[in-house]
Amino acid sequence: MVMNGWVEIFKYTLPALLVLLLAYGLVVRFLRQERWYREQNNAGERRKDWIKIKLLAYERIMLFLERINPEHLVMRLASDYPDALRLQQALLQNIRDEYEHNLVQQLYVSDAAWQAATDARNQVVQWINEAARQTDRQAETPQLATAILQLAMQTKNDPIASAIKTIKDDVRELMESSVLK
């Protein structure tokens, strides 16, 4: 009789334990899958945010290059200064300020893009200084402006155009790689 009691208890307890273990296993598996899905989704969101930051940095570098382009730079500042010496100083200060304002962007852009932007800046500074050496310091502003633009036009490999091409290539590569992932 005691044995029959144990058999009866065992008959009901064993299936209940099996159902409980199966339910536990399913819940654990579901929670693991849910956590994995959330982690993948968060990683995707972080990647999107990182791409946005990188694109903004490339935009800032592109804007920097456009702002130091001699055509834009000279036209923007030439009318504010009466003589070549003051214009030269203003142009160089403007380039320095723009560069310093964008220094942090090097964290987000490729080394090649940053180097191209720095090379472009150095070349523009060189054009300004060379034009100033060729122009009388007391000369009027248009003489220095013309000399700068002539030096820029005489250069075979435009460093600003080269830097812009490097940036466009980097952005294209970034966009292609982000679409593939």
List for the chain the helix, strand, coil content (%; round to 5). Answer: 90, 0, 10
pLDDT at 181: 53
* 74: amino acid identity, one letter: V
Condensed to tens digits (0 to 9), the pLDDT of residues 127-175 reads: 999 999 999 878 898 999 999 999 999 988 899 999 999 999 999 999 8
Q: What is the pTM of this model?
A: 0.76
Give the residue numbers spanning the domain of 162. Answer: 2-180
The CATH number assigned to the domain holding 12 equals 1.20.120
**Domains contained in the chain, number:** 1
Q: Greater confidence, 38 or 110?
A: 110
pLDDT at 110: 95
Share of the chain above pLDDT 90, in %: 60
Residue 109 — φ and ψ, nearest 5°? Answer: -105, 165
